[in-house]
Amino acid sequence: MTPIERLRATVEALSLTAVDARLENLLEEASKAEPSYAEFLAGVLQAYPSRKPILSAPCPRHRLET
């Protein structure tokens, strides 16, 4: 399996459909700009629109009783 095939499989396994749709463009841009690994990864993750906040308030049903 090539690195791009592995990358596509990982993106699919993580359900990052927005990243998968832009993967070719992201890789092409990276080959031209030669970003650091961290910059490239940040760009890939920014291609995925977050639908829920990273930190959210707990659901009232799941509150710990004190």
Ranges of each domain in the chain:
3-50
Residue 32: what pLDDT? Answer: 95
Task: Give the separation between CA 15 and CA 54, rounded to whole angstroms.
Answer: 16
10-65 pLDDT per residue, tens: 989 988 888 888 889 989 999 999 999 999 888 888 877 765 544 455 555 555 55
Q: How many residues does the chain have?
A: 66
Q: Are 7 and 23 in contact (CB under 8 A)?
A: yes
Residue 13: what pLDDT? Answer: 92
Residue 55: what pLDDT? Answer: 45
Residue 54: what pLDDT? Answer: 46
Q: What are phi and psi of 45, to 5 degrees?
A: -65, -30
Q: How far is CA 39 from the centre of its chain?
A: 13
Residue 20: what pLDDT? Answer: 86
